[in-house]
Amino acid sequence: MKRLTTLAVICMALNAGAQTPIQPSAANRADMQKLDYRLEPRRIAENTWVIEGPVEDFSRSNGCNIINTAFIATDQGVVVINTGPSRLYGEQQRKAIEKLTQQPVLRVFNLNLHPDYFLGNAAWSDKPTQALAGSIAGMKAEGAAYEDNLYRLCGDWMRGTQAEPAREAIQPQTIRLGSHVLELRRLHGHTADDLVIIDQTTGVLFAGGLVFADRVPTTPHADPQAWLASLQVLRQWQDDGLFKWVVPSHGPVHEGPRGMEQTSDWLQWLVALMQRSAEKGVDLSELLRTRVPERFAGWAAQPAEFHRSLAQWYPRYEQQALSKPK
């Protein structure tokens, strides 16, 4: 086994006809015996499909698949967004796309450095795989640890998976492909480099990990204040009419600000809890027994993600409290 960095251990422990986008399809459970993810693309807008992952934590029962991937058939070719947690996922994703369109795949985008965004790249090695430069650097630094941990968590689902970081660094830009105009924009906060894509043609935002819906946000590479600032930017873009539908990487596709509001609400509550607790001298073991407010209690990955965020973040708040002059 390769030696794991502390950050990688934390990250992998947590990661754990047109249809109406606000009505997510029923979760398709992975077939563990056949190693079949049962990927079923759902059309959410013109020429736009999402392959919805369970709103869960990494496990053998879901093959470590907890992410929404997507693709757009632009008339000139297909754009793929995220490639899933394994080579097998990428292969099955490819087959699912080929059943719906004969257009060639032009490029593959990885929205950030987390493993379920890019470990399927091995199935797309003949296509341009692209991400922001900071995400590529993170993929290279953490990729071996991601492999080790997902093998440990999900076993045979990960057979043949080797981390293949995106090969091409991209800059924020506007791309016209057929009738689709895609805006690639850089934000940060969930990670140091968060790529978001706005399809001007359909009004769909591919928000990556900046937006969670009905699920506790994951925080292994997060900066909460930067994240909150990026969520404000997204809200302003929505108010400006740049998009209507939101595809989060985790949680149901939805219309409007719901996911942004949920994510912002959670981050603000969590930061305030840690600040107050640190100032009172509350021990981490005691803080872990905190009951979350009712509005968060029913979210997926609760309380596991809450506990992981506390274990990761709370020591810095304790240190800040200790450093204040008496």
pTM of the model: 0.90
Contact by Cβ (8 Å): 60, 32: yes
Mean pLDDT, all residues of the chain: 91
Q: Are 84 and 116 in contact (CB under 8 A)?
A: yes
The kind and range of the H/E element at 260 are helix 258-280
Specify the DSSP element, H or E, that contains 224: helix 224-239
Question: What digits encode the pLDDT tens for the residues 276-295?
Answer: 999 999 999 999 999 999 99
pLDDT interval class at 326 (50, 70, 90): low
pLDDT at 108: 98
Q: With bands split at pLDDT 50, 70 and 90, how would you rate the model's confidence at 19?
A: very low
From the number of C-beta atoms within 10 Å of its C-beta (0-12, 13-18, 19+), residue 70 rates as: buried
pLDDT of residue 18: 33
H/E segment holding residue 144:
helix 133-154
Quote the CA–CA distance of 111 and 211 in Å, as a whole number. 12
pLDDT for residue 28: 55
